[in-house]
Amino acid sequence: MTLRPQPRFPEPDTEPFWEATKERNLVYQTCDNPDCTDKLIFYPRAHCNSCGGLKTTWNTSKGEGVVYTYSVVMQSRHPAFKDLGPYAVAYVDLDEGFRMMTNVINVDNPIDDIQIGMKVKLVWQEQGEGEIALPMFEPA
């Protein structure tokens, strides 16, 4: 089976995020600057994209959130996806406030069984022992 496109390294902004997935932790950053008015940082960056601060803290998400929106891919030419059948790509709003791209899985019919606003929880798609895992979501 052809592997999905993998995160590639060296890429120092996102490497800590993917390293954390080896421990099955979904992590996000917050800005350490007390004056920063929008402390949440996601996708990962070594700086705060609200205030430009260079000190950030990594936090672990509980992995609970809601579907902000989704689309069901009926046609993908990518070898890793083309035989998958219809699959849902989604933006999920985590309860901690960050929004991530992901897949919503473990549903029979992604068009009908997923709804915007639906509660979902984190599920890991394993890719091999000691490897990174892909954070995905399923109905909570």
Partner 1 sequence: MAQTREAAIVGIHEYPLRVAPGVSALQIKAASASKALEDAGISWQDVDAVYDTGSHQNIGGLGISEYLGLNPRLIDNTSVGGTSYEFQAHHAATMIASGKANVALLTYGSTAHSDRRAIGTAGATGQGSPTPFNNMEDPWGMTLISGYGMVKARHMHQYGTTNEQFAEISVATRYHAMRNPEAVKAMTALEFVGVNEITTQDVLDSRMIAWPLHLLECCMVSDGGGAVVIASKEVAKNCKKSPVWIIGGAEATKYRENGGDITVSAGAQSGPRAFEDAGVSPNEIDVLMAYDSFSITVMCLIEDLGFCKKGEGGDYVSQGILKFDQKGGPALNTDGGGLSSNHPGERGIFLLLEATRQMRGESTSQVDGAKLAVAVGNGGQLGARHATSPTILAAD
83: Cβ contacts below 8 Å, ≥ 6 apart = none
List 52's β-bridge partners, or say none. Answer: none
Q: Which is nearer to partner 1, 4 or 64 (CB)?
A: 4
Considering only CA atoms, which of 25, 68, 24, 17 is closest in space to residue 43? 17
Calpha distance 10→91 (Å, rounded): 26
Distance of closest approach, residue 86 Cβ to partner 1, in angstroms: 8
Residues of this chain that interact with partner 1 (CB under 8 A) are 4-11, 13-14, 17-18, 40, 42-45, 68-78, 80-81, 84, 86-87, 89-91, 93, 97-103, 110-111, 116-117, 134, 136
Residue 127 CB, nearest distance to partner 1 (Å)?
A: 9
